[in-house]
Amino acid sequence: MSETDKKISLEKNEEKEVISRNFIENEIDSDLKEGKYTTVHTRFPPEPNGYLHIGHAKSILLNYGLAKEYGGKFNLRFDDTNPTKEKTEFVESIKADVEWLGAEWEDRLFFASDYFNKMYEAAVFLIKKGKAFVCDLSADEIKEYRGTFETPGKNSPYRDRSIEENLKLFEEMKNGVYKDGEKVLRAKIDMASPNINMRDPVIYRVAHMYHHNTKDKWCIYPMYDFAHPIEDAIEGITHSICTLEFEDHRPLYDWVVKELEYTCPPRQIEFAKLYLTNVVTGKRYIKRLVEEGIVDGWDDPRLVSIAALRRRGFTPDSIKLFAKLCGVSKSNSSVDYAMLEYCIREDLKCKRSRIMAVLDPIRLIIDNYPEDKTEYFEVANNLENEDLGTREVAFSRELYIDREDFMIEPVKKYFRLYPGNEVRLMNAYFVKCTDYKTDASGKVTEVHCTYDPETRKGECATRKVKGTIHWVSIKHAVKAEVRLYENLIDEEKGVYNSDGSLNLNPDSRTILKDCYIEENIKGAKPYDSFQFVRQGYFCVDAKDSQDEELVFNRIVSLKSSFKPGR
Ligand code: ATP
Ligand code: MG
């Protein structure tokens, strides 16, 4: 084992220790020990108002992972209580993403909107208990009455309406008697509570809006803080895991399940959201990029939506590794995008074939090689994994090599091709550069060389070469388009400008139309991925590839390599 390998393996062990037991598992352990619950039932509750992103992936894997770990159950539930921004398109994409990550909900796919009747009944129950009232204050007035962190709120003048009047008014709200905003239903808790969420929060509002699931049936909709605990309780969720911003809402969550007298009520536990440095994660912001046409849709490979990551070539295993390495914490922090890159490299390293592709071609002509000859070299698909077998790679007189691998006047420590220098053509022969041609602008158009037949398979007992370059046989190569991606955000400047606009990197995508790949690539299917030797990992774009015309996304480059002139 090399020193580097040792270091990596040591780091991995440390990571294992850190992630061995997170605070949520500790909480669950004690709940089970104390007999508070006898099972573990979790859920992932997305609002279908956009595509899921890497942060959601973490939440999905956490919730599903806990259910698995404790032999419990996991539900997928659409939290579709707010009809304004929700769409069926998003429901479908979310299902596909959760499934792709391997989180199985079995027969437990639910919609919060299916519980609207029960939520309505729950509200009536609270009214009957004297724990909710219909309030006529406007939204602004409610805000004004609410008070501040320093000052207590004031009771609404409608707070002491009789139960009968409240029942009648609430029913009228439901029957469409009132306009949006004219009346709301509020929980009757405590206007002097130090927690503003407990100051008689609104739990139902009038909204004459079409709902993607219940259509025109309802014109009142429950507020999130009221609906969510009910959804959890109905489904028998034990541990309702959410992100940190709901910590201050927990007393209200507990109040709702207590006042509704659920037996074995669910318990809310918060953890920190996952943020990536210099990457746009928030659904709202991704939406803006999509709507402003800055990216080509929710699955643009530059985004970190799950659909985009999948299209770019990330694998479920790489995302799982990433979620694992991030761990679960109580304090907000950002993880570097490089860690996600590390995870995909780790995952693909031994699983994918390493093939040759030339992304910026120049012709290399071997003047002493017979014109019509083709020879085949047997090449291992992956030196680190024999199970991937071998393949035959065609070699002939005219090849493409990458422009980067030739310099007319080499810079210091440049060991690749330049006039007079000899290099190894990977797996093939030693070649020595004899000449080159340029166009009027001085751009190199072709390079000439001679090969040494004694160096077959790139082996030679008598002399060494310092450089090895990849190549493809022009006659056999498959032409393809390759898309290279860089960060969408200009890393030096940070994500946002002072006016809230995004600091975009103008070079976040480079399209190379004229790339050549060895013929073994024929038959590659959408989402298939490969290592292109010396360049990185690439995936067949599922959207833009045609049968004969492949388009590749660069998933990630190999670790940084020496670039001449930089
Ligand atoms: P966003 O903040 O991106 O708009 P959201 O919280 O509005 O997302 P929801 O559909 O409400 O999106 O979230 C579904 C679940 O995913 C919630 O339980 C939420 O806490 C969790 N979640 C959302 N963003 C993250 C994140 N960045 N890291 C971890 N979990 C997240
Ligand atoms: Mg949300």
Residue to probe by mutation, ligand 1, list 43, 51, 52, 56, most atoms within 8 Å of CB = 56
What does the alpha-carbon distance between residue 396 and residue 365 come to, in Å, rounded to a whole number? 9
Delineate the domains of the chain, giving CATH numbers in brackets: 25-271 (3.40.50.620), 283-352+480-556 (2.40.240.10), 357-470 (2.40.240.10)
Query: Which of the residue ranges 85-99, 117-131, 397-411, 518-532 would you say has the lowest mean pLDDT?
Result: 85-99
Pick from 467, 452, 485: nearest CA to 552: 485
Query: In the structure encoding, which two tokens stand for residue 277, read together?
Result: 């440095």
Supply the pTM of this predicted model: 0.91
Q: What is the pLDDT of residues 391-443, one digit of tens each?
A: 999 999 999 999 999 999 999 999 999 999 999 999 999 999 999 999 999 99
Ligand 1 pocket check for 48: Cβ under 6 Å? no
Q: Which ligand is nearest to the CA of 45?
A: 1
What is the band of 214 on the pLDDT scale with cuts at 50, 70, 90?
very high
Q: What single DSSP character describes residue 71?
A: T
CA of 45 relative to ligand 1 center, distance in Å: 9
pLDDT more than 70, % of the chain = 95
Q: Is the pLDDT of residue 18 over 60?
A: no
Give pLDDT, residue 5.
52
CA of 453 relative to ligand 2 center, distance in Å: 66
Q: Which atom of ligand 1 is nearest to the CA of 282?
A: 3
Ligand 1 pocket check for 313: Cβ under 6 Å? no
What does the alpha-carbon distance between residue 235 and residue 253 come to, in Å, rounded to a whole number? 15
Ligand 1 pocket check for 63: Cβ under 6 Å? no
Q: In whole angstroms, how large is the CA radius of gyration of the chain?
A: 31
Q: Which ligand is nearest to the CA of 242?
A: 1
Ligand 1 pocket check for 239: Cβ under 6 Å? no
Residue 269 β-bridge partners = 241
Q: Is the pLDDT of residue 19 over 60?
A: no
Ligand 1 pocket check for 476: Cβ under 6 Å? no
What does the alpha-carbon distance between residue 518 and residue 36 come to, in Å, rounded to a whole number? 61
Ligand 1 pocket check for 396: Cβ under 6 Å? no
Ligand 1 pocket check for 58: Cβ under 6 Å? yes
What is the band of 132 on the pLDDT scale with cuts at 50, 70, 90?
very high
CB 483 within 8 A of CB 300: no
Instruction: State the pairing for strand pair 468-469/422-425.
Output: parallel
CA of 280 relative to ligand 1 center, distance in Å: 13
Average pLDDT, the chain: 93
What does the alpha-carbon distance between residue 231 and residue 110 come to, in Å, rounded to a whole number? 9
CB 208 within 8 A of CB 232: no
What is the band of 288 on the pLDDT scale with cuts at 50, 70, 90?
confident
Q: What is the pLDDT of residues 309-331, one digit of tens each?
A: 999 999 999 999 999 999 999 99
Q: Which atom of ligand 1 is nearest to the CA of 45?
A: 14
What is the band of 499 on the pLDDT scale with cuts at 50, 70, 90?
confident
Q: Is the pLDDT of residue 562 over 50?
A: no
CA of 47 relative to ligand 2 center, distance in Å: 6
Residue to probe by mutation, ligand 1, list 59, 79, 281, most atoms within 8 Å of CB = 59
Neighbour-count burial of 116, counting CB atoms closer than 10 A to its CB (0-12 exposed, 13-18 middle, 19+ buried): buried
Query: In the structure encoding, which two tokens stand for residue 113, read together?
Result: 């909107």
Q: Which ligand is nearest to the CA of 282?
A: 1
Ligand 1 pocket check for 59: Cβ under 6 Å? yes
Q: Which atom of ligand 1 is nearest to the CA of 58?
A: 29
CA atoms within 13 A on the CB side of 383: 3
CA atoms within 13 A on the CB side of 138: 2
Ligand 1 pocket check for 326: Cβ under 6 Å? no
Q: Which atom of ligand 1 is nearest to the CA of 284?
A: 4
Ligand 1 pocket check for 273: Cβ under 6 Å? yes
Q: What is the pLDDT of residues 447-468, one digit of tens each?
A: 999 999 999 999 999 999 999 9
CA of 141 relative to ligand 1 center, distance in Å: 30
Give pLDDT, residue 143.
97
